[in-house]
Amino acid sequence: MNIPWSEWGEEINEELIKIRRAFHQYPELGYEERKTAERIAVLLKELGLEVETNVAKTGVVALLRGKEPGKTIAIRADMDALPLQEESKKSYRSKVEGKMHACGHDAHITYGIGAAKLLKKYQSHIKGNVKFIFQPAEESVGGAKPMIEEGVLENPKVDAILGGHVWPDTPSGSIEVLNGPVMASTGQIYLEIHGKGGHAARPHENIDPIMIAQEILQRLQTLTSRRIDPLESLVISICSFQSGETYNVMPEKAVLKGTFRTLNNKLRVEIPGKIENIVENITKHYGAAYTLEVTHLYPATINHEGFTDFAKASAEELLGKENVIQGNKPSMAGEDFAFYLEKVPGTFLRIGNYNAEKNLIFNLHNPHFDIDEAQIGRVAALYAKIAMDFLNR
């Protein structure tokens, strides 16, 4: 069946812009997305979908059943905003002080709703099911894992999953696809160095936690430069160093906070032990003690080659080969879509958003960030086409 996805996407674009702007004006942080979830549920129920709310606190899951039984594909959208003050003067700027959709999740929600609208038109031609997952808390503690634990990939069992993210480095109107790693695993480092405080004029009587912490900070960088294969990706960034209160008193304690990221999930498991080895040896040398917490957050987001190639082919049919970019450069940012990809085949698309003529030049998490609204219906149509192509192939 020849479905005019592009025409339908263009036809509903103005409606989708209004929906997106409503979400943009009233952003909510992770696990606070109650009004956002309520609005999503209303829109999906109006379409006649089976809707479940309060999944993993504030998540929404909707099911569109085709005319005939078959496989199930999921489309995932994250819902949460950032604790950031928007600096735009546009009429639809955030009306909530100190909160903003600066990562495009308002657009992600709208792509999912748009895809549901388009697929509903052709429900009688669908063999199988489309499950729409609207997930909380991607920006903070990660809502994907709790959603999975509450069964979003079951009843009916999901056979493949599709997700995407607006991408400021990719030209608007284009889609970028990557095979294999697309986003890095993430982890947190919290380290306390317990020394011995005293007068700054008598350092030999003290155990200086600042000097020890500085040495640890420098030595951690040797993991990336001397102890890990240079062809592997690893970033260790210490972003907070706190110690002391005045100029002539050596403090008792220094606190370091940071993050580590890699595209290799095997290396991810090894990093905490390598960090502790460095900390233990240096603190022991100086007679200090330490408290170390190394916490894993998200695994690496690794696209499945077969489904990614399939999605790319569908995108080329809809958008033209010239607008589908084969990417080869993963990002060291993290994304909890990784948890879904550990369970089922799928792909995470980069949705082009760069357009200098529209001043869409700002990166994610920037107070001036905005999306190219002219592309919303087009992306919704792409999601719908990939879903139907997968189910009916």
- State how beta strands 160-171 and 68-78 pair: parallel
Q: What is the pLDDT of residues 323-367, one digit of tens each?
A: 999 999 999 999 999 999 999 999 999 999 999 999 999 999 999
Percent of the chain with pLDDT over 90: 95
Domains (ranges, CATH) in the chain? Answer: 5-183+300-392 (3.40.630.10), 185-296 (3.30.70.360)
- What is the number of residues in the chain? 393
| Confidence category of residue 226, pLDDT binned at 50, 70, 90 | confident
- Any residues with CB less than 8 A from the CB of 335 and at least 6 apart, and which? 138, 165, 182, 183, 298, 301, 348
**Identity at 80, one-letter amino acid code:** D
SS3 199: strand
Q: What is the pLDDT of residues 164-215, one digit of tens each?
A: 999 999 999 999 999 999 999 999 999 999 999 999 999 999 999 999 999 9
Q: What is the pTM of this model?
A: 0.94
Would you state the structure tokens that stand for residue 6, as one six-digit string? 């592009």
| 80 catalytic per annotation | yes
Backbone angles phi, psi at 24, to 5 degrees: -65, -35
pLDDT at residue number 230? 85
SS3 72: strand
pLDDT at 231 over 90: no
pLDDT at residue number 393? 86
pLDDT at residue number 228? 87
pLDDT at 126 over 90: yes
pLDDT at residue number 376? 98
Catalytic residue (choose from 138, 176, 208, 370): 138
Catalytic residue (choose from 28, 33, 78, 80): 80
pLDDT at 1 over 70: no
Would you state the structure tokens that stand for residue 292, as one six-digit string? 């170390």
| 28 catalytic per annotation | no
pLDDT at 253 over 80: yes
How far is the CA of 204 from the CAs of 91, 198, 199, 288, 378, in angstroms? 63, 10, 10, 14, 68
Q: 233 with 334: CB under 8 angstroms?
A: no
| Confidence category of residue 100, pLDDT binned at 50, 70, 90 | very high
